[in-house]
Amino acid sequence: MIKVFVPRDSAARAVGADDVALAIAEAGAAKKIELQIVRNGSRGLFWLEPMVEVETAEGRVAYGPVEASDVASLFKADFLSGGKHKLSLGLTEAMPFLKNQERLTFARCGITDPLSVSDYIANGGFAGLKKALAMSGVDIVAQVTESGLRGRGGAGFPTGIKWKTVHDARADQKYVCCNADEGDSGTYADRMVMEGDPFMLIEGMTISGIACGATRGFVYIRSEYPDAIATMKEAIGHAEAAGWLGANIQGTDKSFTLEVRRGAGAYICGEETAMLDSLEGKRGMVRPKPPIPALEGLFGKPTVINNVLSFAAVPFILDKGGTAYKDHGMGRSRGTLPFQLAGNIRHGGLVEKAFGITLRQLIEDFGGGTFTGKPLRAVQVGGPLGSYLPAAKLDLPMDYEAFAAEGAMVGHGGIVVFDDSVDMAAQARFAMEFCAIESCGKCTPCRIGSTRGVEVIDRIVAGIDRDRNLELLDDLCQTMVDGSLCAMGGLTPMPVQSAVKYFPEDFDKPAKMQAAE
Protein backbone atom coordinates (compact mmCIF):
# COMPACT_ATOMS: atom_id res chain seq x y z
CA MET A 1 0.00 0.00 0.00
CA ILE A 2 1.31 3.38 -0.97
CA LYS A 3 1.46 6.04 1.74
CA VAL A 4 0.68 9.59 0.76
CA PHE A 5 1.14 12.37 3.30
CA VAL A 6 -1.07 15.45 3.23
CA PRO A 7 -0.60 17.70 6.27
CA ARG A 8 -3.48 18.32 8.64
CA ASP A 9 -1.74 21.32 10.13
CA SER A 10 -4.08 24.28 10.02
CA ALA A 11 -1.52 26.30 8.05
CA ALA A 12 -1.76 23.66 5.33
CA ARG A 13 -5.52 23.37 5.64
CA ALA A 14 -5.80 27.11 5.32
CA VAL A 15 -4.35 26.85 1.84
CA GLY A 16 -6.43 23.86 0.73
CA ALA A 17 -4.84 20.70 2.16
CA ASP A 18 -8.23 19.13 2.81
CA ASP A 19 -9.26 19.59 -0.82
CA VAL A 20 -5.98 18.14 -1.95
CA ALA A 21 -6.36 15.11 0.31
CA LEU A 22 -9.89 14.57 -0.94
CA ALA A 23 -8.85 14.93 -4.58
CA ILE A 24 -6.04 12.40 -4.10
CA ALA A 25 -8.36 9.94 -2.37
CA GLU A 26 -11.00 10.27 -5.09
CA ALA A 27 -8.53 9.98 -7.90
CA GLY A 28 -6.92 6.96 -6.24
CA ALA A 29 -10.29 5.31 -5.79
CA ALA A 30 -11.25 6.04 -9.38
CA LYS A 31 -8.04 4.49 -10.54
CA LYS A 32 -8.49 1.64 -8.07
CA ILE A 33 -5.10 2.34 -6.59
CA GLU A 34 -4.72 1.22 -3.01
CA LEU A 35 -3.25 4.14 -1.20
CA GLN A 36 -3.21 5.28 2.42
CA ILE A 37 -3.48 8.99 3.00
CA VAL A 38 -1.77 10.00 6.21
CA ARG A 39 -2.71 13.43 7.57
CA ASN A 40 0.65 14.29 9.07
CA GLY A 41 1.83 17.41 10.79
CA SER A 42 3.52 20.13 8.84
CA ARG A 43 7.22 20.03 8.08
CA GLY A 44 7.17 23.78 8.54
CA LEU A 45 7.93 24.91 4.98
CA PHE A 46 4.91 27.12 4.74
CA TRP A 47 5.58 28.61 1.35
CA LEU A 48 5.31 25.06 0.00
CA GLU A 49 2.06 24.11 1.73
CA PRO A 50 0.10 22.08 1.02
CA MET A 51 3.22 19.97 0.69
CA VAL A 52 2.34 16.42 -0.33
CA GLU A 53 4.78 13.63 0.33
CA VAL A 54 4.88 10.09 -1.02
CA GLU A 55 6.74 7.26 0.58
CA THR A 56 9.19 5.65 -1.90
CA ALA A 57 12.00 3.19 -1.59
CA GLU A 58 14.49 6.06 -1.66
CA GLY A 59 12.66 7.94 1.05
CA ARG A 60 9.84 10.44 1.09
CA VAL A 61 9.48 12.59 -2.00
CA ALA A 62 7.80 15.96 -1.73
CA TYR A 63 5.59 18.05 -4.04
CA GLY A 64 4.35 21.52 -3.32
CA PRO A 65 2.59 23.78 -3.10
CA VAL A 66 -0.11 21.43 -4.35
CA GLU A 67 -3.59 22.56 -5.27
CA ALA A 68 -6.50 20.21 -5.80
CA SER A 69 -6.34 21.04 -9.50
CA ASP A 70 -2.79 19.69 -9.59
CA VAL A 71 -3.81 16.23 -8.47
CA ALA A 72 -4.71 14.90 -11.90
CA SER A 73 -1.36 15.92 -13.33
CA LEU A 74 0.42 14.47 -10.31
CA PHE A 75 -1.18 11.11 -11.00
CA LYS A 76 -0.28 11.51 -14.64
CA ALA A 77 3.32 12.12 -13.59
CA ASP A 78 3.12 8.98 -11.41
CA PHE A 79 3.88 10.89 -8.25
CA LEU A 80 3.02 7.79 -6.28
CA SER A 81 6.33 6.38 -7.43
CA GLY A 82 8.12 9.69 -6.99
CA GLY A 83 7.64 10.72 -10.61
CA LYS A 84 8.83 14.08 -11.88
CA HIS A 85 6.38 16.97 -11.86
CA LYS A 86 6.58 20.70 -12.05
CA LEU A 87 5.87 20.77 -8.29
CA SER A 88 8.58 18.20 -7.51
CA LEU A 89 10.74 19.13 -4.55
CA GLY A 90 12.81 15.96 -4.52
CA LEU A 91 13.56 13.98 -1.40
CA THR A 92 12.08 15.82 1.56
CA GLU A 93 14.99 15.24 3.86
CA ALA A 94 17.41 16.52 1.24
CA MET A 95 15.75 19.93 0.97
CA PRO A 96 18.28 22.44 2.33
CA PHE A 97 15.69 24.23 4.45
CA LEU A 98 15.19 21.00 6.38
CA LYS A 99 18.59 19.41 6.00
CA ASN A 100 20.35 22.34 7.62
CA GLN A 101 18.21 22.35 10.74
CA GLU A 102 18.91 20.71 14.10
CA ARG A 103 15.55 19.22 14.88
CA LEU A 104 15.53 17.86 18.39
CA THR A 105 12.03 18.98 19.33
CA PHE A 106 10.59 18.88 15.82
CA ALA A 107 12.26 15.54 15.05
CA ARG A 108 8.93 13.83 14.38
CA CYS A 109 6.64 16.63 13.37
CA GLY A 110 5.51 16.12 9.79
CA ILE A 111 6.89 12.60 9.69
CA THR A 112 4.36 10.74 11.76
CA ASP A 113 0.60 10.45 12.00
CA PRO A 114 0.05 12.82 14.93
CA LEU A 115 -2.65 10.66 16.46
CA SER A 116 -0.97 7.28 16.15
CA VAL A 117 0.55 6.11 19.41
CA SER A 118 2.39 3.30 17.62
CA ASP A 119 3.78 5.73 15.06
CA TYR A 120 4.94 7.92 17.91
CA ILE A 121 6.64 5.07 19.72
CA ALA A 122 8.19 3.77 16.49
CA ASN A 123 9.81 7.19 16.09
CA GLY A 124 11.33 7.36 19.53
CA GLY A 125 8.26 8.56 21.43
CA PHE A 126 7.72 7.81 25.12
CA ALA A 127 11.37 6.75 25.48
CA GLY A 128 11.92 9.72 27.77
CA LEU A 129 8.82 9.00 29.85
CA LYS A 130 9.80 5.33 30.14
CA LYS A 131 13.08 6.37 31.67
CA ALA A 132 11.44 8.98 33.87
CA LEU A 133 9.05 6.38 35.29
CA ALA A 134 12.05 4.54 36.68
CA MET A 135 13.66 7.67 38.10
CA SER A 136 13.16 9.69 41.24
CA GLY A 137 11.74 13.19 40.98
CA VAL A 138 15.03 14.63 42.10
CA ASP A 139 16.91 12.80 39.33
CA ILE A 140 14.47 13.94 36.66
CA VAL A 141 14.78 17.53 37.83
CA ALA A 142 18.57 17.11 37.82
CA GLN A 143 18.53 16.04 34.17
CA VAL A 144 16.40 19.02 33.21
CA THR A 145 18.67 21.34 35.16
CA GLU A 146 21.71 19.78 33.52
CA SER A 147 20.23 20.35 30.06
CA GLY A 148 20.27 24.10 30.62
CA LEU A 149 16.71 24.31 29.29
CA ARG A 150 15.20 27.76 29.82
CA GLY A 151 11.56 28.72 29.54
CA ARG A 152 10.63 28.95 25.89
CA GLY A 153 7.65 31.19 26.51
CA GLY A 154 9.92 34.18 26.39
CA ALA A 155 11.19 34.89 29.89
CA GLY A 156 13.94 32.27 29.66
CA PHE A 157 13.75 31.22 33.30
CA PRO A 158 15.70 28.02 33.97
CA THR A 159 13.17 25.19 33.83
CA GLY A 160 15.11 22.96 36.23
CA ILE A 161 15.01 25.58 38.99
CA LYS A 162 11.28 26.12 38.52
CA TRP A 163 10.63 22.39 38.69
CA LYS A 164 12.81 22.04 41.76
CA THR A 165 10.78 24.72 43.55
CA VAL A 166 7.56 22.85 42.83
CA HIS A 167 9.19 19.53 43.67
CA ASP A 168 10.32 20.83 47.05
CA ALA A 169 7.01 22.50 47.89
CA ARG A 170 4.75 20.54 50.22
CA ALA A 171 1.08 20.41 49.26
CA ASP A 172 -1.80 17.98 49.02
CA GLN A 173 -2.14 18.76 45.34
CA LYS A 174 0.19 20.18 42.72
CA TYR A 175 -0.50 21.02 39.11
CA VAL A 176 1.28 21.18 35.78
CA CYS A 177 -0.04 23.83 33.42
CA CYS A 178 1.00 24.23 29.84
CA ASN A 179 0.73 27.71 28.47
CA ALA A 180 -0.44 27.18 24.91
CA ASP A 181 -2.04 30.60 24.57
CA GLU A 182 0.33 31.32 21.74
CA GLY A 183 -0.57 34.88 20.85
CA ASP A 184 2.68 36.51 19.77
CA SER A 185 2.70 37.88 16.26
CA GLY A 186 4.60 35.62 13.87
CA THR A 187 4.61 32.56 16.10
CA TYR A 188 3.13 29.15 15.45
CA ALA A 189 5.55 26.57 16.87
CA ASP A 190 3.25 25.68 19.76
CA ARG A 191 0.40 25.11 17.39
CA MET A 192 2.54 22.94 15.14
CA VAL A 193 3.51 20.76 18.10
CA MET A 194 -0.07 20.36 19.24
CA GLU A 195 -1.39 19.63 15.77
CA GLY A 196 1.64 17.71 14.49
CA ASP A 197 3.13 15.86 17.45
CA PRO A 198 0.74 16.14 20.40
CA PHE A 199 2.05 13.07 22.24
CA MET A 200 5.37 14.85 22.68
CA LEU A 201 3.65 17.58 24.70
CA ILE A 202 1.70 14.98 26.66
CA GLU A 203 4.93 13.12 27.36
CA GLY A 204 6.76 16.26 28.44
CA MET A 205 3.98 17.33 30.80
CA THR A 206 3.67 13.84 32.25
CA ILE A 207 7.41 13.78 32.95
CA SER A 208 7.03 17.15 34.64
CA GLY A 209 4.14 15.85 36.75
CA ILE A 210 6.12 12.79 37.81
CA ALA A 211 9.16 14.91 38.56
CA CYS A 212 7.33 17.43 40.72
CA GLY A 213 4.69 15.23 42.29
CA ALA A 214 1.80 16.78 40.39
CA THR A 215 -1.03 14.49 39.41
CA ARG A 216 -3.12 16.85 37.34
CA GLY A 217 -2.28 18.90 34.31
CA PHE A 218 -4.00 21.43 32.12
CA VAL A 219 -3.20 22.59 28.62
CA TYR A 220 -4.49 26.13 28.15
CA ILE A 221 -4.90 26.52 24.40
CA ARG A 222 -5.87 29.76 22.75
CA SER A 223 -9.41 29.77 21.48
CA GLU A 224 -8.25 30.70 17.98
CA TYR A 225 -6.66 27.23 17.67
CA PRO A 226 -9.67 24.95 17.23
CA ASP A 227 -7.64 22.31 15.39
CA ALA A 228 -5.01 22.20 18.10
CA ILE A 229 -7.71 21.90 20.74
CA ALA A 230 -9.38 19.03 18.91
CA THR A 231 -6.11 17.25 18.20
CA MET A 232 -4.87 17.58 21.76
CA LYS A 233 -8.14 16.26 23.13
CA GLU A 234 -8.06 13.27 20.82
CA ALA A 235 -4.40 12.59 21.56
CA ILE A 236 -5.07 12.67 25.30
CA GLY A 237 -7.78 10.05 24.78
CA HIS A 238 -5.41 7.83 22.80
CA ALA A 239 -2.60 8.23 25.34
CA GLU A 240 -4.97 7.29 28.16
CA ALA A 241 -6.23 4.27 26.24
CA ALA A 242 -2.67 3.13 25.68
CA GLY A 243 -1.78 3.54 29.35
CA TRP A 244 0.60 6.46 28.87
CA LEU A 245 -1.63 8.85 30.76
CA GLY A 246 -4.09 8.52 33.63
CA ALA A 247 -3.85 6.27 36.65
CA ASN A 248 -0.87 3.96 37.07
CA ILE A 249 0.99 4.90 33.93
CA GLN A 250 2.42 1.79 32.29
CA GLY A 251 1.61 -0.21 35.41
CA THR A 252 3.68 1.98 37.73
CA ASP A 253 2.42 3.79 40.80
CA LYS A 254 2.67 7.09 38.90
CA SER A 255 -0.51 8.82 37.80
CA PHE A 256 -1.12 11.92 35.79
CA THR A 257 -4.28 13.19 34.18
CA LEU A 258 -4.43 15.91 31.60
CA GLU A 259 -7.22 18.21 30.48
CA VAL A 260 -7.52 20.71 27.69
CA ARG A 261 -8.89 24.15 28.51
CA ARG A 262 -9.96 26.57 25.84
CA GLY A 263 -8.44 30.01 26.25
CA ALA A 264 -10.61 33.02 26.97
CA GLY A 265 -9.62 34.88 23.83
CA ALA A 266 -7.42 37.55 25.34
CA TYR A 267 -3.72 38.10 24.72
CA ILE A 268 -3.19 38.73 28.43
CA CYS A 269 -4.33 35.20 29.25
CA GLY A 270 -0.97 34.12 27.93
CA GLU A 271 0.62 35.92 30.88
CA GLU A 272 1.11 33.06 33.28
CA THR A 273 -0.74 34.44 36.30
CA ALA A 274 -3.63 35.72 34.19
CA MET A 275 -3.73 32.26 32.65
CA LEU A 276 -4.11 30.78 36.13
CA ASP A 277 -7.04 33.09 36.85
CA SER A 278 -8.57 32.11 33.54
CA LEU A 279 -8.02 28.42 34.23
CA GLU A 280 -9.78 28.88 37.54
CA GLY A 281 -12.78 30.19 35.66
CA LYS A 282 -12.18 33.81 36.48
CA ARG A 283 -11.58 36.82 34.33
CA GLY A 284 -7.94 36.69 33.23
CA MET A 285 -6.25 39.26 35.43
CA VAL A 286 -2.57 39.46 36.23
CA ARG A 287 -1.67 38.46 39.77
CA PRO A 288 1.12 40.13 41.64
CA LYS A 289 4.23 38.11 42.37
CA PRO A 290 5.14 37.03 44.99
CA PRO A 291 3.66 34.57 45.60
CA ILE A 292 5.22 32.82 42.65
CA PRO A 293 3.04 30.23 40.91
CA ALA A 294 5.58 27.52 41.68
CA LEU A 295 4.49 27.89 45.31
CA GLU A 296 0.97 29.31 45.02
CA GLY A 297 -0.30 28.79 41.52
CA LEU A 298 -3.44 27.18 40.22
CA PHE A 299 -6.12 27.15 42.95
CA GLY A 300 -3.37 28.34 45.27
CA LYS A 301 -1.34 25.16 44.89
CA PRO A 302 2.27 24.69 43.72
CA THR A 303 2.17 24.74 39.95
CA VAL A 304 4.62 24.18 37.12
CA ILE A 305 3.80 26.55 34.31
CA ASN A 306 5.76 26.12 31.10
CA ASN A 307 5.34 26.92 27.48
CA VAL A 308 4.56 24.18 24.96
CA LEU A 309 8.11 24.25 23.59
CA SER A 310 9.63 23.88 27.07
CA PHE A 311 7.61 20.76 27.77
CA ALA A 312 8.23 19.52 24.23
CA ALA A 313 12.00 19.67 24.77
CA VAL A 314 11.79 17.45 27.84
CA PRO A 315 11.23 13.98 26.25
CA PHE A 316 14.50 14.38 24.31
CA ILE A 317 16.34 15.49 27.44
CA LEU A 318 15.12 12.50 29.43
CA ASP A 319 15.74 10.08 26.59
CA LYS A 320 19.16 11.25 25.47
CA GLY A 321 20.25 12.89 28.71
CA GLY A 322 20.58 16.50 29.78
CA THR A 323 24.12 16.68 28.45
CA ALA A 324 23.08 15.75 24.93
CA TYR A 325 20.72 18.74 24.89
CA LYS A 326 23.21 21.03 26.53
CA ASP A 327 25.76 20.23 23.81
CA HIS A 328 23.77 22.50 21.51
CA GLY A 329 23.72 26.25 21.85
CA MET A 330 25.91 29.06 23.09
CA GLY A 331 26.65 30.79 26.38
CA ARG A 332 23.79 30.38 28.83
CA SER A 333 21.35 29.66 26.01
CA ARG A 334 21.51 25.91 25.68
CA GLY A 335 19.80 23.56 23.27
CA THR A 336 17.78 24.51 20.27
CA LEU A 337 14.96 26.94 19.62
CA PRO A 338 12.35 26.47 16.96
CA PHE A 339 12.49 29.87 15.24
CA GLN A 340 9.46 31.00 13.35
CA LEU A 341 9.98 33.12 10.24
CA ALA A 342 7.12 35.39 9.34
CA GLY A 343 6.17 38.75 7.99
CA ASN A 344 7.69 40.01 4.78
CA ILE A 345 9.81 36.92 4.02
CA ARG A 346 10.21 34.72 1.00
CA HIS A 347 10.44 31.37 2.77
CA GLY A 348 8.34 31.59 5.88
CA GLY A 349 8.42 28.61 8.17
CA LEU A 350 9.85 26.82 11.14
CA VAL A 351 13.59 26.57 11.62
CA GLU A 352 14.83 24.68 14.64
CA LYS A 353 18.44 25.56 15.27
CA ALA A 354 20.78 25.67 18.19
CA PHE A 355 21.15 29.05 19.87
CA GLY A 356 23.94 31.09 18.40
CA ILE A 357 22.67 31.25 14.83
CA THR A 358 22.47 34.85 13.67
CA LEU A 359 19.39 36.69 12.56
CA ARG A 360 21.00 37.09 9.15
CA GLN A 361 21.48 33.34 8.74
CA LEU A 362 17.88 32.74 9.67
CA ILE A 363 16.42 35.47 7.48
CA GLU A 364 18.72 35.22 4.50
CA ASP A 365 19.90 31.60 4.42
CA PHE A 366 16.70 29.97 5.53
CA GLY A 367 14.17 32.67 4.78
CA GLY A 368 15.58 33.80 1.47
CA GLY A 369 15.22 37.50 2.26
CA THR A 370 12.12 39.62 1.96
CA PHE A 371 9.07 38.41 0.09
CA THR A 372 8.89 41.62 -1.91
CA GLY A 373 12.56 41.50 -2.73
CA LYS A 374 12.94 45.01 -1.41
CA PRO A 375 15.62 45.75 1.16
CA LEU A 376 14.98 44.64 4.72
CA ARG A 377 14.53 47.56 7.07
CA ALA A 378 13.42 46.16 10.39
CA VAL A 379 12.95 42.90 12.20
CA GLN A 380 10.80 42.37 15.25
CA VAL A 381 11.89 39.42 17.35
CA GLY A 382 9.94 38.01 20.27
CA GLY A 383 6.37 39.02 19.50
CA PRO A 384 4.52 42.32 19.66
CA LEU A 385 6.42 43.39 22.76
CA GLY A 386 9.82 42.68 21.22
CA SER A 387 12.25 45.28 19.98
CA TYR A 388 12.51 46.39 16.38
CA LEU A 389 16.04 45.80 15.14
CA PRO A 390 17.47 47.56 12.10
CA ALA A 391 19.25 45.75 9.25
CA ALA A 392 22.54 46.70 10.82
CA LYS A 393 21.84 44.39 13.74
CA LEU A 394 21.29 41.26 11.67
CA ASP A 395 24.51 39.67 12.80
CA LEU A 396 23.26 39.46 16.34
CA PRO A 397 23.40 35.84 17.50
CA MET A 398 20.19 34.34 18.79
CA ASP A 399 21.08 34.23 22.47
CA TYR A 400 19.09 35.46 25.47
CA GLU A 401 21.96 37.49 26.87
CA ALA A 402 23.17 38.94 23.55
CA PHE A 403 19.65 40.15 22.80
CA ALA A 404 19.14 41.53 26.29
CA ALA A 405 22.33 43.52 25.93
CA GLU A 406 20.78 45.18 22.87
CA GLY A 407 17.55 45.94 24.75
CA ALA A 408 15.83 43.24 22.73
CA MET A 409 14.51 39.78 23.47
CA VAL A 410 14.49 36.35 21.85
CA GLY A 411 11.11 35.66 23.36
CA HIS A 412 9.24 32.75 21.88
CA GLY A 413 11.42 32.79 18.76
CA GLY A 414 9.03 34.61 16.45
CA ILE A 415 10.79 36.68 13.79
CA VAL A 416 8.75 39.20 11.80
CA VAL A 417 10.49 40.84 8.86
CA PHE A 418 9.66 44.27 7.37
CA ASP A 419 10.98 45.74 4.15
CA ASP A 420 11.80 49.38 3.50
CA SER A 421 8.17 50.36 2.98
CA VAL A 422 7.48 50.12 6.71
CA ASP A 423 6.52 53.24 8.67
CA MET A 424 8.15 52.72 12.04
CA ALA A 425 6.19 55.49 13.74
CA ALA A 426 3.05 53.61 12.79
CA GLN A 427 4.61 50.43 14.18
CA ALA A 428 5.41 52.21 17.44
CA ARG A 429 1.88 53.52 17.62
CA PHE A 430 0.60 50.01 16.96
CA ALA A 431 2.56 48.69 19.93
CA MET A 432 0.80 51.17 22.24
CA GLU A 433 -2.54 50.53 20.58
CA PHE A 434 -2.10 46.78 20.97
CA CYS A 435 -1.39 47.29 24.66
CA ALA A 436 -4.38 49.59 25.08
CA ILE A 437 -6.66 46.92 23.67
CA GLU A 438 -5.06 43.86 25.21
CA SER A 439 -4.08 45.18 28.64
CA CYS A 440 -5.97 43.37 31.40
CA GLY A 441 -6.76 46.81 32.77
CA LYS A 442 -5.47 46.11 36.24
CA CYS A 443 -2.44 48.36 36.65
CA THR A 444 -2.55 52.03 35.87
CA PRO A 445 0.60 52.44 33.74
CA CYS A 446 -0.60 49.81 31.30
CA ARG A 447 -4.31 50.64 31.42
CA ILE A 448 -4.08 54.40 30.93
CA GLY A 449 -0.48 54.70 29.78
CA SER A 450 -0.97 52.74 26.59
CA THR A 451 -3.89 54.94 25.52
CA ARG A 452 -1.92 58.07 26.29
CA GLY A 453 1.01 56.52 24.40
CA VAL A 454 -1.05 56.32 21.24
CA GLU A 455 -2.09 59.95 21.64
CA VAL A 456 1.44 61.18 22.31
CA ILE A 457 2.80 59.36 19.27
CA ASP A 458 -0.03 60.84 17.19
CA ARG A 459 1.01 64.29 18.33
CA ILE A 460 4.64 63.58 17.56
CA VAL A 461 3.77 62.38 14.08
CA ALA A 462 1.53 65.38 13.57
CA GLY A 463 4.43 67.60 14.48
CA ILE A 464 2.72 69.05 17.55
CA ASP A 465 5.24 70.06 20.20
CA ARG A 466 7.43 67.29 18.90
CA ASP A 467 10.37 67.60 21.30
CA ARG A 468 8.21 68.01 24.34
CA ASN A 469 6.09 65.06 23.34
CA LEU A 470 9.11 62.89 22.61
CA GLU A 471 10.27 63.66 26.12
CA LEU A 472 6.82 62.85 27.47
CA LEU A 473 6.85 59.59 25.52
CA ASP A 474 10.15 58.75 27.12
CA ASP A 475 8.81 59.52 30.60
CA LEU A 476 5.71 57.50 29.88
CA CYS A 477 7.80 54.54 28.74
CA GLN A 478 9.84 54.75 31.91
CA THR A 479 6.67 54.77 34.02
CA MET A 480 5.39 51.75 32.13
CA VAL A 481 8.68 49.83 32.35
CA ASP A 482 9.18 50.42 36.07
CA GLY A 483 5.60 50.70 37.15
CA SER A 484 3.67 48.01 35.31
CA LEU A 485 2.49 44.93 37.12
CA CYS A 486 3.50 42.47 34.41
CA ALA A 487 5.51 42.18 31.22
CA MET A 488 2.61 43.38 29.08
CA GLY A 489 2.90 46.98 30.22
CA GLY A 490 6.54 46.58 31.14
CA LEU A 491 7.63 45.50 27.68
CA THR A 492 5.35 47.58 25.47
CA PRO A 493 7.94 50.38 25.55
CA MET A 494 10.48 48.02 23.91
CA PRO A 495 9.08 48.19 20.38
CA VAL A 496 8.24 51.87 20.91
CA GLN A 497 11.60 52.97 22.18
CA SER A 498 13.56 50.77 19.77
CA ALA A 499 11.60 52.30 16.90
CA VAL A 500 12.43 55.80 18.15
CA LYS A 501 16.04 54.84 18.70
CA TYR A 502 16.78 53.09 15.42
CA PHE A 503 14.35 54.87 13.14
CA PRO A 504 14.18 58.45 14.45
CA GLU A 505 13.62 59.75 10.93
CA ASP A 506 10.17 58.18 10.88
CA PHE A 507 9.16 60.34 13.84
CA ASP A 508 10.53 63.53 12.37
CA LYS A 509 8.77 63.72 9.04
CA PRO A 510 7.05 66.95 8.18
CA ALA A 511 3.52 66.71 9.43
CA LYS A 512 0.99 65.71 6.82
CA MET A 513 -0.69 69.07 6.84
CA GLN A 514 2.58 70.80 6.26
CA ALA A 515 3.54 68.33 3.58
CA ALA A 516 0.33 69.05 1.74
CA GLU A 517 1.14 72.71 1.50
Nearest CB to other proteins, comparing residues 238 and 287: 287
Q: Which is nearer to other proteins, 91 or 511 (CB)?
A: 511
Q: Is 441 among the residues that bind other proteins (CB under 8 A)?
A: yes
Binding mask 392-431 for other proteins (x = CB under 8 A): ----------------------------------------
Min separation Cβ 444 and other proteins, Å: 5
Binding-site member from 484, 492, 497, 498 for other proteins (CB under 8 A): 484
Span from 243-251, 339-347, 468-476, 506-514 in contact with other proteins (CB under 8 A)? 468-476
Instruction: Tell me the backbone φ, ψ of residue 354, rounded to 5 degrees.
Output: -65, 150
Could you give the angle at which helices 189-196 and 226-241 cross, rounded to 10 degrees? 40
User: Can you tell me the distance from the alpha carbon of 335 to that of 354, in angstroms, rounded to the nearest whole number?
Assistant: 6
180-214 exposure pattern, b = at least 16 Cβ within 10 A, e = fewer: bbbbbbbbbbbbbbbbbbbbbbbbbbbbbbbbbbb
Angle, to 10 degrees, between the axis of helix 189-196 and the axis of helix 198-212? 100
In the complex, the smallest distance separating the C-beta of residue 484 from other proteins, rounded to whole angstroms, is 7
Nearer to other proteins, 312 or 436 (CB): 436
The stretch among 3-11, 14-22, 288-296, 324-332 that binds other proteins (CB under 8 A) is 288-296
- Under rule CB under 8 A, residue 15 binds other proteins: no
Task: Give the residue from 324, 297, 309 showing the smallest Cα distance to 410.
Answer: 309
Helix (H, G, I), strand (E, B) or coil at 418: strand
In 3D space, the residue among 40, 88, 80 whose CA is nearest the CA of residue 63 turns out to be: 88
Taking the least distance from each CB to other proteins, the nearer of 346 and 452 is 452
Give 101-136 as a DSSP string.
Answer: ---STTSSTTTS-TT-HHHHHHTTTTHHHHHHHTS-
Closest C-alpha to 190, from 383, 366, 363, 15 = 383
Rounded to the nearest whole angstrom, what is the least distance from the CB of residue 446 to other proteins in the complex?
Answer: 8
Segment interacting with other proteins (CB under 8 A) among 29-37, 360-368, 383-391, 478-486: 478-486
415 vs 486 by CB, closer to other proteins? 486
Binding other proteins (rule: CB under 8 A), the pick from 90, 240, 451, 463 is: 451
Dihedral pair phi/psi, residue 65, rounded to 5°? -75, 130
The rounded distance, in Å, linking the Cα atoms of 367 and 374 is: 14
Cβ nearer to other proteins, comparing 17 with 436 = 436
Q: Is 87 in the site for other proteins (CB under 8 A)?
A: no
Residue 440 within binding range of other proteins, rule CB under 8 A: yes
Q: How far apart are CA 240 and CA 342, in angstroms?
A: 36
Contact criterion met (CB below 8 Å) for 343 and 417: yes
Residue 279 interacts with other proteins (CB under 8 A): yes or no: no
Q: Give which of 75, 73, 49 is closest to 62, Cα–Cα.
A: 49
Q: 83, 213, 246, 483: which one contacts other proteins (CB under 8 A)?
A: 483
Report how many residues bind other proteins under the rule CB under 8 A. Answer: 37
In angstroms, give the least distance from the CB of 276 to other proteins.
15
Binding-site ranges for other proteins (CB under 8 A)? 266, 268, 283, 285, 288-290, 435-452, 455-456, 468, 472, 475-476, 478-479, 482-485
